[in-house]
């Protein structure tokens, strides 16, 4: 009965989403000031009371809907933990011999379960808005909750009519097919939930924008209410992308951290749009500027989230990241995308003429720098979207082509460097207006450091390609520019969100340095070795000491014992890469072994025997590659500091207003 209870919870949650949408629509319509003028009559006390009751009912309905969605998700996890093979999803994606971690995480390691996780986070987020949001005007908040209910309703329909996670299987098999071995990693427990929280946070921002457009309430108060949700979504997207990159790096065994795979791009595109939206909403919240631009970016960010969902689940992609789903489900998601995004764009077109301009500013100002920042982010987003979709569209017309990593790097790399330059300049410029000569004076230190680094790299680095060369020099200059806003300030009185900006920008510089070092200095060695033969991998000597069979919880493997030392006098350490065999489902995977040092990683992968007593080994020495993920963590930490700082300031403002 557990599966039936979960399905019933989903149906009740969907019914409440419909009720929430209807109540919100009625509440906004009945409370519209122009309604009384249109009808030519004043509201009676009974009508006023009824309107207030309708509006008051929206919040608790949103909360109960979120609780029911969470209940359904917990019940799905329960049937996976119990290995209930009478549930089709469990039989297709689990096995009784799986470790407990993968039984739990396996609940969302498939199409239906991941969509239920998506809807669960969506419901919880809507409940959080209903419970916590107090600064937004009531009509705008109700319209926001109505928009959120409309989004949830579409995904509930998708689950119930197209992707039921609780469907029964009769007769039940003795055991299940097992989970994809590539997903049997602790990363499955962390990566999808963080990424989905980011996606859903963007949907909240989208709902805020739709609510503000419906009620014509686009101003600083609306932006201050929306900003924490945008910032929270951006933090989780950053964590999800960073974790996913490292997971693919060590799990797939190809030695790279980003391949511009279409499904990788599906997570990057919402992050790019959310980054632009975060800067834009900050300008609107603090300086009352960029009103229309903020609304449009909220729509674009959610559009990228929906497009990513379509790419992953439509069945039109072949990717290690994608779910194998039939095109019918893809058509359902495409229809939802058309309804939500088409409706939002229509609403924007109808309302943009009523959005006031807001405060103006000079070209040389922080607002101006943020506009350039957003334009460059938008160009990168457009290129990633174009290069991702073009091969898919071409395939639809019978032309097979691929756009690989070198193509992406060639076109996007230079724009990313320009974005880094603007990022270095932006915090140095004052709000509203500034003197160009004074701004140049503030940039002397970063420019000098960048120039010195460039000369040193050219002199000492040998034949480094121009893109990583300029990238590394710019990263060093950007790191200096990132901390300069703290120069000369009373650090004890500096707002926490200023520290957040500094740490986040420093994180971008650190990640950029890691990317440049990986591209410029990585050394790869592909060898066929016999036991006892040493080979060089960068500064390391690596020797194959032997191959032995090992057995894991639900796999068997051939494990290489590699001994390595750095230089002639370095201490010996050992690495054990494996070639694993999984029986359920039948799969062979390469499990890399990585030794991390302060200045990089030694990355090893065991290949196949060649029939003459030799084994293939792939060895990489990757200097400072760990800076990529350390920088990503710094970016997320900076976002968290900014979020805490903004929430603390808003709380102080509310307390002062309450006692005024």
List, for residues 258-308, the tens digit of each pLDDT value. 989 888 898 999 999 999 999 999 999 888 888 899 999 999 999 999 888
- Return the HEC string of 579-644: EEEEECCEEEEEECEEEEECCEEEEEEEEEECCCCCEEEEEEEEECCCHHHHHHHHHHHHHHHHHH
Looking at the structure, do residues 256 and 272 belong to the same domain, yes or no?
yes
pLDDT greater than 60 at residue 371: yes
Backbone angles phi, psi at 569, to 5 degrees: -110, 10
Q: Which one of 388, 409, 431 terminates a domain?
A: 431
**DSSP track, 28-45:** HHHT-HHHHHHHTSPPPH
Instruction: Decide if 10 is inside a domain.
Output: yes
Q: Rounded to a whole number, what is the largest CA-CA distance in the chain?
A: 95
Looking at the structure, do residues 36 and 138 belong to the same domain, yes or no?
yes
Q: Is 319 helix (H, G, I), strand (E, B) or coil?
A: coil
Instruction: Decide if 210 is inside a domain.
Output: no
Looking at the structure, do residues 82 and 127 belong to the same domain, yes or no?
yes
- Residues 119-132 have pLDDT tens digits of 999 999 999 999 98
- Packed helices 111-132 and 187-215: angle between N→C axes, nearest 10 degrees: 50
Name which residue leads in pLDDT, 561 or 389. Answer: 561
- Packed helices 291-313 and 327-351: angle between N→C axes, nearest 10 degrees: 170
Looking at the structure, do residues 399 and 462 belong to the same domain, yes or no?
no
Mean pLDDT computed over 599-609: 94
CA distances from 160 to 10, 83, 327, 651 (A): 8, 22, 17, 41
Looking at the structure, do residues 462 and 573 belong to the same domain, yes or no?
no
Looking at the structure, do residues 275 and 140 belong to the same domain, yes or no?
no
pLDDT the model gives residue 36 = 47
User: Of the segments 37-51, 305-319, 330-344, which one has the largest average pLDDT value?
Assistant: 330-344
Instruction: Decide if 361 is inside a domain.
Output: no
- Residues 503-528 have pLDDT tens digits of 999 999 999 999 999 999 999 999 99
Nearest Cα neighbor of 120 from 81, 159, 162, 79 is 159
pLDDT the model gives residue 200 = 87
Looking at the structure, do residues 371 and 448 belong to the same domain, yes or no?
no
pLDDT the model gives residue 276 = 95
Looking at the structure, do residues 168 and 32 belong to the same domain, yes or no?
yes
Domain of residue 118, residue span = 1-184
Instruction: Decide if 131 is inside a domain.
Output: yes
Instruction: Decide if 359 is inside a domain.
Output: no
Looking at the structure, do residues 515 and 529 belong to the same domain, yes or no?
no
| Host H or E run for residue 647 | helix 627-659
Instruction: Decide if 400 is inside a domain.
Output: yes
Q: Is 99 helix (H, G, I), strand (E, B) or coil?
A: coil
Whether the Cβ atoms of residue 625 and residue 601 lie closer than 8 Å to each other: yes
pTM: 0.93
pLDDT greater than 60 at residue 322: no
CA distance 635 to 466: 26
Mean pLDDT computed over 432-460: 91
pLDDT band at 187 (very low <50, low <70, confident <90, very high): confident
Alpha-carbon dihedral sign for residues 313, 316, 322, 323: positive
Looking at the structure, do residues 45 and 20 belong to the same domain, yes or no?
yes
Distance of CA 387 to the CA centre of its chain: 19
CA distance 233 to 195: 9
| Host H or E run for residue 55 | helix 45-81
Structure tokens that stand for 125 in this block:
């987020």
CA distance 199 to 317: 20
pLDDT the model gives residue 50 = 75
pLDDT greater than 70 at residue 327: no
Mean per-residue pLDDT over the chain, rounded? 89
Q: Which residues pair with 558 in a beta bridge?
A: 549, 579
pLDDT greater than 60 at residue 324: no
Looking at the structure, do residues 254 and 377 belong to the same domain, yes or no?
yes
- Residues 401-422 have pLDDT tens digits of 888 888 999 999 999 999 999 9
pLDDT band at 33 (very low <50, low <70, confident <90, very high): low
Helix residue spans in 314-404 (DSSP H): 327-351, 366-396
Instruction: Decide if 360 is inside a domain.
Output: no
* Residue 99 neighbours by CB under 8 Å, 6+ apart: 184, 553, 554
CA distances from 195 to 199, 208, 296, 395, 417 (A): 6, 20, 22, 29, 26
CA distances from 500 to 203, 631, 642 (A): 24, 14, 5
Total domain count, the chain = 4
- Residues 466-502 have pLDDT tens digits of 999 999 999 999 999 999 999 888 888 899 999 999 9
pLDDT the model gives residue 379 = 96
Looking at the structure, do residues 653 and 611 belong to the same domain, yes or no?
no
pLDDT band at 31 (very low <50, low <70, confident <90, very high): confident
Instruction: Decide if 135 is inside a domain.
Output: yes
CA distance 252 to 180: 13
């Amino acid at each position: 009965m557990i599966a039936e209870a979960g399905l019933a919870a989903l149906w009740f949650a969907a019914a409440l989403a419909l009720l929430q949408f209807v109540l919100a629509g009625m509440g906004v319509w009945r409370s519209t000031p122009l309604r009384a003028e249109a009808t030519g009559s004043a509201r009676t006390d009974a009508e006023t009371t009824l309107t207030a009751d309708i509006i008051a009912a929206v919040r608790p309905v949103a909360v109960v809907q979120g609780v029911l969605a969470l209940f359904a998700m917990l019940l799905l996890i329960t049937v996976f933990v119990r290995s209930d093979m009478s549930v089709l999803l469990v039989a297709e994606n689990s096995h009784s011999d799986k470790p407990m971690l993968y039984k739990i995480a396996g609940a969302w390691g498939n199409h239906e379960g991941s969509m239920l996780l998506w809807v669960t986070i969506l419901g919880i987020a809507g409940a959080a808005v209903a419970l916590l949001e107090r600064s937004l005007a009531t009509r705008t908040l109700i319209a926001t909750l109505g928009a959120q209910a409309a989004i949830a309703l579409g995904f509930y329909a998708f689950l119930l009519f197209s992707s039921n996670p609780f469907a029964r299987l009769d007769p039940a098999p003795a055991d299940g097919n097992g989970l994809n071995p590539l997903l049997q990693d602790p990363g499955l427990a962390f990566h999808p939930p963080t990424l989905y929280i980011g996606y859903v946070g963007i949907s909240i921002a989208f709902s805020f924008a739709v609510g503000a457009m419906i009620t014509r309430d686009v101003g600083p108060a609306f932006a201050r209410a929306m900003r924490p949700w945008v910032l929270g979504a951006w933090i989780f997207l950053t964590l999800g992308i960073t974790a996913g990159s490292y997971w693919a790096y060590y799990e797939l065994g190809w030695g790279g951290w980003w391949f511009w795979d279409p499904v990788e791009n599906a997570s990057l595109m919402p992050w790019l749009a959310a980054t632009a939206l975060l800067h834009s909403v900050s300008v609107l919240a603090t300086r009352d500027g960029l009103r229309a631009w903020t609304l449009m970016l909220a729509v674009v960010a959610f559009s990228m989230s929906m497009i990513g969902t379509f790419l992953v689940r439509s069945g039109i992609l072949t990717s290690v990241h994608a779910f194998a789903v039939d095109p019918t489900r893809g058509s359902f998601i495409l229809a939802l995308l058309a309804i939500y995004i088409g409706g939002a764009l229509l609403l924007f077109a109808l309302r943009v003429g009523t959005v006031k301009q807001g405060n103006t500013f000079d070209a040389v100002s922080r607002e101006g720098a943020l506009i350039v920042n957003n334009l460059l982010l938008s160009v990168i987003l457009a290129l990633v979207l174009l290069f991702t979709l073009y091969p898919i569209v071409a395939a639809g017309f019978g032309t097979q082509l691929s756009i690989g990593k070198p193509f992406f790097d060639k076109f996007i790399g230079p724009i990313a460097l320009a974005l880094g330059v603007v990022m270095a300049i932006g915090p140095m410029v004052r709000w509203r207006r500034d003197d160009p000569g004074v701004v140049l004076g503030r940039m002397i230190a970063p420019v000098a450091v960048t120039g010195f680094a460039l000369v040193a790299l050219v002199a000492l680095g040998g034949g480094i390609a121009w893109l990583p060369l300029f990238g590394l020099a710019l990263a060093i200059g950007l790191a200096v520019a990132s901390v300069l806003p703290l120069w000369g300030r009373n650090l004890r009185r500096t707002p926490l969100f200023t520290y957040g900006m500094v740490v986040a920008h420093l994180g971008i510089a650190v990640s950029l340095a890691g990317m440049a070092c990986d591209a410029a200095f990585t050394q790869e060695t592909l060898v066929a070795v016999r036991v006892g033969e040493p080979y060089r991998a960068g500064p390391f000597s690596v020797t194959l000491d032997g191959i032995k069979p090992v057995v894991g919880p639900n796999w068997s493997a051939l494990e290489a014992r590699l001994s390595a030392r750095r230089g002639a006098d370095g201490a010996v350490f050992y690495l054990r890469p494996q070639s694993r065999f999984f029986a359920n489902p039948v799969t062979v995977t390469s499990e890399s072994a990585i030794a991390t040092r302060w200045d990089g990683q030694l990355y090893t992968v065991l290949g196949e025997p060649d029939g003459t007593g030799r084994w293939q080994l792939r060895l990489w020495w990757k200097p400072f590659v760990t800076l990529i993920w350390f920088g990503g963590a710094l970016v997320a930490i900076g976002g968290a500091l900014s979020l805490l700082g903004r929430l603390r300031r808003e709380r102080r403002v509310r307390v002062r207003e309450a006692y005024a």
